[in-house]
């Protein structure tokens, strides 16, 4: 909790005029051809040398490489420079890399500034060298001006609690929880449904090995429930997240089960007596359950919950003859539980795309048009039809089934998603194969645009689907589905290989709908302050190098919450996220950038304007000295108070007014001629 000694922090901004012993080294990185191929680096070097206090300007192919780093280190070691500016990629990418050089050479890491001339100049002006050069020069001006004003700061060390919060208990959350729990960290596994398991529990078999999904998932679910380090918080939702990396305070709403979870034995007698019949969400409404229920027999925890939206409060379940342990409690209320954790893993999964808006496919109007997940439950031996899919209209076994790919995904129209959902091709082939196994005489068509069989063993799986099973792959997206009077379906499209329109009568159509971000993804994102990509999924810190980190320190992303993936990828990412979180927690402490704000008491007039501005309650008022005081541990370093202070009494480390003003002066300086 405690932040490092603050006495070494600068308390005044007044003496920060550049003194004579500032020697700035400018290092211009070619980044291969990314920068060097667009702008003239020799000219940049000459330009850099004209900037104030610059004593050295060098260029090199890759400054992030060993040799490049060594060159900077050598200059510092030889005392040639004591301020470093690297003009290269985004500081979000390599700032830590270069700061480490300064630390290793005994220089304060905050005497470093990075001019972003790749993402913000050469990459956005690839065909305009002169323009890119102009922007690069200005960015260099700005950073050289800033580096001259920079102050030495001590990085802050904060403790990391050896505990983790995992939001979402699907296959991603379960794997992360197990990996962290088995390493000895305390894990709180929060799940909004009454059971853990997520979407994977609904699947029948998994491609390409045709493993039974429950057979590989349920042991994991049981393992989670048995692990002493893991606390399952099912039927709960995260309400509020406070704090920062290493020290999050999380409020979790434990929704009322109306069944005392400590007394319930999961015998199921109550469900037998309950007179209410509602559609079971687990089977997508295709089977029924009572108002007091567990979602499916293998649910973990297998304890009952009353669905108060449908309960008629008849009280039958509460009688002692039905519930011997007297677990039913209609007066139960939601509880808020607060846990303190060091890291957070977001594994909230996905929603399947709602396809009812696609009028030409008639989902919702035509009984025999079903979605992929409905077919999955139909095929499941634990599903509503015990593994023997039937036509919804008449309960007969369908002779011909058509799967239609890319429904709702790879579609740029409003209400659909332009991305590829990555799982639909394979699950459609899998379902067709499963159906063919049961009914070899059946006709199975898969209407596709491209088959994306990219995983290990996937292409072979695809090959055998047509080769061994005779599934007919039809290249072309269906244009429309019409219902015949006998409820069979007339499908129209084009066989693009033959180049002719086709019309075909089938008994059933499966719309292979893709996945999309959870409807409440925005809520989760703002709870844990992470970003979302344009597709709605949570955004990783770097698409290639940091795929499980979020932009917020201490918060990791796992599973489809980050983007569409199949089970092997989800598990890999979950393990990656667990590893990321474990690194922080095993070390027990983490360095955070000391960008907090400080009140210069001599200047503070005690107007208290800043107090209301702080969203974290970090500013208190010292009524004795009549000044504001900022608690550095609570301050997250946004600097809103700084811009509010009418006396300029507050300064934010590394972003002081003087430093920011120097950037503006540097780039729009007095000597600049237009």
Partner 1 sequence: MVETTEIETKTETKTEAEAFEPFILGIFCNWCTYTGADQAGTSRMQRPPNLRIMRVMCSGRVEPEMIIEALRRGADGVLVGACHIGDCHYVNGNFKTVRRMPVLVNLIEQYGLNPNRLWLRHISASEGAELTEIVKEYVEILKKLGPNPLKKHK
Partner 2 sequence: MEKIQPNIIYSISNAITEELIKDEALKVVRACFQCGTCTGSCPSGRRTAIRTRQVIRRIALGLDEVISSDDIWLCSTCYTCYERCPRSIPVTDVIIKLRNLATQRGFMKPPHRAVTHILAKTGHGVPLGTQKGGEDNNWSLLRASYGLPNIPPTTLSHPDAITDIQTLMHATGFDELVGWTPDPQSPAAPSSIKSQSNKPSSLEDTLEKKPIEKPAEKSVEKAAEKAAKKSTDKSASKKKKSAKKTTSKKKKSTKKTTSKKKKSTKKKTSKKKSSKKAPADTTEKPKRAKRRSKKN
Contact footprint for partner 2 (CB under 8 A): 360, 406, 410-413, 416, 449-450, 475-480, 492-496, 499-503
List the single partner that 495 binds among partner 1, partner 2, none, CB under 5 to 8 Å by kind. partner 2
Q: How far is the CB of 329 from partner 2 (least distance, A)?
A: 52
603 versus 660: smaller Cβ distance to partner 1: 660
Reported as type and span, the H/E element at residue 131 is helix 129-149
Could you tell me which residues come within 8 angstroms of residue 323 by beta carbon, excluding any fewer than 6 positions away? Answer: 269, 270, 317
Which of 124, 152 has the CB closer to partner 1?
124
Is the Cβ of residue 126 or residue 314 nearer to partner 1 in the bound state?
Answer: 126
- For residues 402 and 394, the answer to whether their CB atoms sit within 8 Å is no
**CA–CA dist 167, 178 (Å, integer):** 14
Report how far residue 535's alpha carbon sits from residue 560's, in angstroms, rounded to the nearest whole number: 12
The yes or no reply on residue 37 touching partner 1 (CB under 8 A) is no
Which CB atom, from 225 or from 648, has the smaller least distance to partner 1?
A: 648
Q: What is the dihedral of CA 297, 299, 300, 306, to 10 degrees?
A: -100
Closest to 97 (Cα-Cα) out of 129, 66, 121, 126: 66
Give the residue among 375, 360, 370 at the shortest CA–CA distance from 482: 360
**Residue of 88, 521, 642, 651 that binds partner 1 (CB under 8 A):** 642
- Which of partner 2, partner 1, none lies near 397, with the C-beta cut-off 5 to 8 A by kind? none
Contacts of 630 by beta carbon, 8 Å cutoff, 6+ apart: 596, 597, 598, 599, 614, 618, 619, 641, 650
Among residues 12, 505, 531, 620, the one that binds partner 1 under rule CB under 8 A: 531
**By rule CB under 8 A, what string of x and - marks binding of each residue 395-434 to partner 1?**
----------------------------------------
Residue recorded with tokens 């905050």: 110
Residue 579, number of CB atoms within 10 A of its CB: 16
User: If we measure between CA atoms, which residue out of 71, 74, 76, 52 comes closest to residue 146?
Assistant: 52
What does the block give as tokens for 649? 């009494």
Q: How far is the CB of 640 from partner 1 (least distance, A)?
A: 3
Q: How far is the CB of 500 from partner 1 (least distance, A)?
A: 39
CA angle (113, 116, 120) in 5-degree steps:
155
Judge whether 196 and 168 are in contact, CB under 8 Å: no
Out of partner 2, partner 1, none, which partner does residue 107 contact, by CB within 5 to 8 A per kind? none
x/- letters, 597..616, toward partner 1 (CB under 8 A): ----------------x-xx
CB 170 within 8 A of CB 152: no
**Contact range with partner 1 by CB under 8 A, out of 126-134, 173-181, 211-219, 576-584:** 126-134
Question: Under the criterion CB under 8 A, does residue 381 sit at the interface with partner 1?
Answer: no
- Among positions 81, 132, 160, 379, the unique one binding partner 1 when judged by CB under 8 A: 132
Question: How crowded is residue 11: how many other Cβ atoms within 10 Å of its Cβ?
Answer: 13
477, interface contact from partner 2, partner 1, none, CB < 5-8 Å by kind: partner 2
Residue ranges of the alpha helices (H) in 80-120?
Answer: 91-104
DSSP state of 471: P
Q: How far is the CB of 404 from partner 2 (least distance, A)?
A: 11
- Polymer length in residues for the chain: 674
The entry of partner 2, partner 1, none near residue 539 (CB within 5 to 8 angstroms by kind) is partner 1
Q: Considering CB distances under 5 to 8 angstroms, the limit depending on partner class, which of partner 2, partner 1, none binds residue 624?
A: none
Residue 412 CB neighbours (<10 A): 7
Q: How far is the CB of 406 from partner 2 (least distance, A)?
A: 7
Return the residue matching tokens 């300086």. Answer: 669
CB of 76 to partner 2, least distance (A): 51
Which residues, listed in sequence order, are joined to residue 367 by a DSSP beta bridge?
none
Q: Is 473 or 655 the residue whose CB approaches partner 1 more closely?
A: 655
Options 53, 105, 119, 223; binder of partner 1; rule CB under 8 A: 119
N-to-C CA span, the chain:
52
Instruction: Select the binding partner of residue 665 from partner 1, partner 2, none (C-beta < 5 to 8 A, by kind).
Output: partner 1
Among 653, 443, 513, 478, residue whose Cα is nearest residue 6: 653
Count of other CB atoms within 10 angstroms of residue 32: 10
Q: Note whether 509 and 374 are within 8 A (CB).
A: no
159 makes contact, choosing from partner 2, partner 1, none, with CB < 5 to 8 Å by partner type, with: none
Beta strand 83-88 with 112-116 is: parallel
Of 529, 602, 620, 626, the one binding partner 1 by CB under 8 A: 529
Token pair for 36: 């060097």
Q: Which stretch binds partner 1 (CB under 8 A): 113-121, 313-321, 503-511, 569-577?
A: 113-121
Minimal distance, residue 503 CB to partner 2, in Å: 8
Which entry of partner 2, partner 1, none binds 626, CB below 5 to 8 A by partner kind?
none
Q: How far is the CB of 494 from partner 2 (least distance, A)?
A: 3
CB atoms within 10 A of CB 329: 15
- The two structure tokens encoding residue 602: 């001599």
* 487 part of the interface to partner 1, by CB under 8 A: no
Minimum CB separation of residue 495 from partner 2 in Å reads 8
Q: Are 633 and 1 spatial neighbours (Cβ–Cβ below 8 Å)?
A: yes
Min. distance of Cβ 650 from partner 1 in angstroms? 11
- For partner 1, the binding residues in 542-581 under the rule CB under 8 A are 543, 551-552
Least distance from partner 1 to the Cβ atom of residue 124, Å: 5
Instruction: Give the interface with partner 1 as residue ranges (CB under 8 A).
Output: 90-93, 116, 118-121, 123-128, 130-132, 134-135, 138-139, 142, 522, 525-526, 529, 531-534, 539, 543, 551-552, 595, 613, 615-616, 636-640, 642-644, 652, 655, 657, 660-661, 663-665, 667-669, 672-674
């Amino acid at each position: 909790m405690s932040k490092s000694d603050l006495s070494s922090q600068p308390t005044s901004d007044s003496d920060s005029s550049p003194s004579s012993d500032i020697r700035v080294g400018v290092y211009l990185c070619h980044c291969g051809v990314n920068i060097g191929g667009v702008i003239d680096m020799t000219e940049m070097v000459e330009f850099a040398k004209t900037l104030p206090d610059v004593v050295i300007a060098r260029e090199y192919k890759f400054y992030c490489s060993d040799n490049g780093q060594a060159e900077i280190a050598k200059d510092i070691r030889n005392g040639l420079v004591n301020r470093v500016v690297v003009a290269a990629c985004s500081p979000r990418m390599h700032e830590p890399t270069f700061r480490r050089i300064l630390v290793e050479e005994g220089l304060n890491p905050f005497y470093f500034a990075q001019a972003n001339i790749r993402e913000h100049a050469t990459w956005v002006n690839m065909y305009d060298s002169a323009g890119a050069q102009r922007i690069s020069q200005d960015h260099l001006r700005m950073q050289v001006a800033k580096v001259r004003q920079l102050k030495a700061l001590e990085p802050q060390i904060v403790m990391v609690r050896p505990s983790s919060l995992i939001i979402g208990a699907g296959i991603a959350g379960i794997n992360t929880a197990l990996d962290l729990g088995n390493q000895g960290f305390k894990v709180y596994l929060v799940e909004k449904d009454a059971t853990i398991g997520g979407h994977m529990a609904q699947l029948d078999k998994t491609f390409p090995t045709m493993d039974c999904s429950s057979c590989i998932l349920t042991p994991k679910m049981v393992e989670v429930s048995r692990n002493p380090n893991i606390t399952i918080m099912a039927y709960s939702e995260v309400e509020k997240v406070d704090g920062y990396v290493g020290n999050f305070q999380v409020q979790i709403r434990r929704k009322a089960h109306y069944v005392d979870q400590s007394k319930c034995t999961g015998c199921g007698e109550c469900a037998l007596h309950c007179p209410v019949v509602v559609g079971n969400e687990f089977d997508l409404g295709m089977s029924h359950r009572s108002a007091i229920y567990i979602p499916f027999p293998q649910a973990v925890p297998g304890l009952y919950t009353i669905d108060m939206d449908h309960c008629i409060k008849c009280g039958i379940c509460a009688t002692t003859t039905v519930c011997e342990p007297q677990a039913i409690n209609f007066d139960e209320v939601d509880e808020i539980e607060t846990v303190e954790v060091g890291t957070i893993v977001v594994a909230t999964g996905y929603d399947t795309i709602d396809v009812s808006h696609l009028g030409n496919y008639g989902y919702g109007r035509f009984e025999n048009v079903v979605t992929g997940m409905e077919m999955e439950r139909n095929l499941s031996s634990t599903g509503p039809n015990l593994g023997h899919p039937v036509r919804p209209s008449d309960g007969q076994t369908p002779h011909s089934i058509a799967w239609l790919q890319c429904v709702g995904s790879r579609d740029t129209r409003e209400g659909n998603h332009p991305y590829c959902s990555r799982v639909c091709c394979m699950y459609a082939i899998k379902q067709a194969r499963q159906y063919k196994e049961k009914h070899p005489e059946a006709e199975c068509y898969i209407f596709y645009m491209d088959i994306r069989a990219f995983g290990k063993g996937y292409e072979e799986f695809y090959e055998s689907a047509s080769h061994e099973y005779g599934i007919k792959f039809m290249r072309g997206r269906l244009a429309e589905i019409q219902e015949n009077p006998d409820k069979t379906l007339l499908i129209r499209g084009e066989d693009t290989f033959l180049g002719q329109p086709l019309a075909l009568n089938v008994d059933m159509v499966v719309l292979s709908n893709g996945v999309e971000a959870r409807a409440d993804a925005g809520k989760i994102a703002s709870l844990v302050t992470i970003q979302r990509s344009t597709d709605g999924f949570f955004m990783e810190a770097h698409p290639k190098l940091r795929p499980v980190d979020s932009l917020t320190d201490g918060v990791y992303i796992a599973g489809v919450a980050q983007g569409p993936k199949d089970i092997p990828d989800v598990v890999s990412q979950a393990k990656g996220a667990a590893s990321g979180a474990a690194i922080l927690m095993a070390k027990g402490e983490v360095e955070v950038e000391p960008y907090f704000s400080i009140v210069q008491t001599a200047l503070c007039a005690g107007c208290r304007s800043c107090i209301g501005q702080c969203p974290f309650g970090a500013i208190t008022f010292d009524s004795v000295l009549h000044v504001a005081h900022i608690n550095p541990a609570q301050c997250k370093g946004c600097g809103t108070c700084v811009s509010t202070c009418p006396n300029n009494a507050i300064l934010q480390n590394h972003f002081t007014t003087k430093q920011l003003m120097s950037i503006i002066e540097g780039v729009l300086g007095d000597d600049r001629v237009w």
